[in-house]
Structure 1
């Protein structure tokens, strides 16, 4: 099963992984694989002196 964003629930324990990914990533994708899934994500590592955000694609 692919990850899905759940409705906000302050009493929920666990299952916050995708919420965290969405909070810290510029973009991400979800790909189903024969065994499991792959979720490549672009995250901001630091700000460039010129003001542009620098990122690295994780995959």
Structure 2
């Protein structure tokens, strides 16, 4: 007879953090009334492409 299996237990919950949550760094550009936000982790090539497109359109 196979041994009984136990159900996997849920991971322990993390305590809630107090105070203001830290927000990831981002680059915000405002060119010609258009605001663009480039989130943290974007590659340098992506950042350069966005800036180039904004320059070409202004």
| TM-score category (smaller protein) | under 0.3
TM-score, normalising length: structure 1: 0.27
Tell which structure's C-alpha radius of gyration is larger.
Answer: 2
| Structure with greater strand percent | 1
The structure whose residues are more often helix, as a share, is: 2
